[in-house]
Amino acid sequence: MELLSISLVAVALAEIGDKTQFLPLFLATKFRNKWAIVLGIPVPTLINHAASTWLGVWIA
């Protein structure tokens, strides 16, 4: 049980710096429309990944 507790605390501390968990929270406070929240997460993520991929290929 001690190992489980240590692992959970370590993962919880590591996740504090992850900003993606704040996106749904901020979207939920700004928009009442559930679809805006549901689409507001994957669409910017896909755009970010596409831009990163394009930039990586362009640099290479």
- For residue 17, pLDDT over 70 is answered with no
DSSP string, 2-29: HHHHHHHHHHHHHHTT-GGGHHHHHHHH
The predicted model gives 13-30 an average pLDDT of 75
Residues in the chain: 60
Q: What percent of the chain has pLDDT over 70?
A: 93
Higher pLDDT, 16 or 33: 33
pLDDT tier, 51 (very low <50, low <70, confident <90, very high otherwise) = very high
Nearest to 41 by CA among 54, 18, 23: 23
Task: List, for residues 30-43, the tens digit of each pLDDT value.
Answer: 888 888 788 877 88
Q: Which long-range contacts (CB under 8 A, 24 or more apart) does 34-37 make?
A: none
Structure token pair of residue 15:
């996740």
Higher pLDDT, 22 or 33: 33
